[in-house]
Amino acid sequence: MQAPRDAPLDLSVLDYVDHPVFAVRKQDGVPYFIEINEAACHLLGRSRDDVVGQTAETLFPGMLGTALHSTFGQTLETGVTSVEEHELSLQGADCLVRISLKPLNKPPNETPLLIGSIANLSGTQIIRNMRSAAETVAGEMEQFINLAAHDLRSPMQQVKQVAALLRRDFVDMGDGKVELIDLLEKLGESAMGLIGDVLSQAQAAEVPRTEENFDFGALMEEVIGLLDPSRQHIIRYETAMMDTDRVATQIILRNLIDNAIKYAACEPDETYAPLVLKVSVDQHRNDMIAFSIKDNGNGFTARALKYLKDGQLKTGSGFGLLGVRRLLHTRGGELLVAHTENGRGAIVKFMLPGRIGSSGKSKDVA
């Protein structure tokens, strides 16, 4: 059996609520605190006698009291629930609190009543601040790494040039100096490769997301001109107009094709054979473009495939492809790597949001 709706409300039941709760009612047009429970007294560090009969302006001097006083009056007037966040001094510390106000429907002959609750958001705010600080530090670290990698490129390039100068007109006396020069050049090349990996990782975080219409064939010509200017390899690609992230596509293709060329060297007991690489594109569903890069190189080792799958950075393992995967994931794409069916070479596939327009013919670049 339900109690009559006009039955007197016993506000002492608020003490049975563990959450900080208070009640406000207007008297002579001014909202006053008429009740507060023990949980709210503990949170505010005040007794019931300190609060009951006070207005928000007298209880909380300054702008906070003025704002709460106005909100109490407006909520009682409109009958619309209100939720606000304020900074409040609790036990000597400034805390962020959420104050929720809900008007309580009463018979027409009674003064409207407002039930309020207080939630301490200090823990949430601390987490927000920590997350913001962590993001700021991470951004600064990535920027520093990017700048440092750029600065290191010049001296590492000079190391390779010094090695080339030493080798010029050098007479081999059989005392191991040629091997030292070779080692110097190899160290320079290794360092340049690592710096390139660092830059690709930094690019994954920095490249803005944009979509434009462009000629895929023209983009491939740019990549080939940069990576294989002397046309030592056979690179076949399809031409097509497409709408997608051109900058991200160029970075990804440049890294993947560079990897294919870098690791296509023949084994010592094999005769030289040019790298044959084919790049194809296809529409996957209505909103994704699938890119495929197939080569006849040495392929991926089992360790490399596991490394790409696990995605954990380790000393000496490099992270160029992880940077590519990270860039793809920020665009909603994905990266897949596998061996070819005959076991010679590798297939790398990646997808990016976009659409293919008019397609052209395949083109060979050798």
Q: Which pLDDT score, from 0 to 100, does residue 173 have?
A: 79
* Axis crossing angle, helix 122-167 with helix 177-206, rounded to the nearest 10: 150
The tokens 């990016």 sit on which residue? 352
- Three-state DSSP class for residue 283: strand
Residues 49 and 37: their CA atoms lie apart, in Å, by 11
Give the span between the Cα atoms of 239 and 242, in whole angstroms: 10
CB neighbour list of residue 219: distance below 8 Å, 6 or more residues apart: 246, 249, 250, 253
Q: Give me the pLDDT at residue 109, please.
A: 58
Quote helix, strand, coil % in the chain, to nearest 5.
45, 25, 30
Answer whether 0.85 is exceeded by the pTM: no
Cβ within 8 Å of residue 83, ≥6 positions away: 98, 99, 100, 101
Q: What is the pLDDT of residue 100?
A: 93
Per-residue pLDDT of the chain (366 residues; tens, 9 = 90+): 343 444 456 787 888 888 999 999 998 889 999 999 999 998 888 999 999 999 999 998 888 899 999 999 999 988 889 999 888 887 777 788 889 999 986 656 567 889 999 988 876 556 566 666 666 655 555 665 565 665 666 677 677 777 777 877 777 777 878 888 878 777 777 677 666 666 665 665 556 677 889 999 999 998 888 888 878 889 999 999 999 998 889 888 988 888 888 776 545 445 556 789 999 999 987 789 999 999 887 766 666 666 555 554 443 444 467 778 878 888 888 888 876 666 677 888 999 999 998 655 566 655
What pLDDT score does 33 carry?
95
* Residues contacting 169, CB < 8 A, separation 6+: none
DSSP secondary structure of 118-140: EEE-HHHHHHHHHHHHHHHHHHH
Strand partners, 151: none
Q: How far apart are CA 181 and CA 312, in angstroms?
A: 34
| Cα–Cα distance, 215 to 357 (Å, whole number) | 10
Question: What sign for the dihedral angle of Cα 58, 61, 65, 70?
Answer: positive
Local structure of residue 345 (DSSP, 8 states): S
CB 353 within 8 A of CB 287: yes
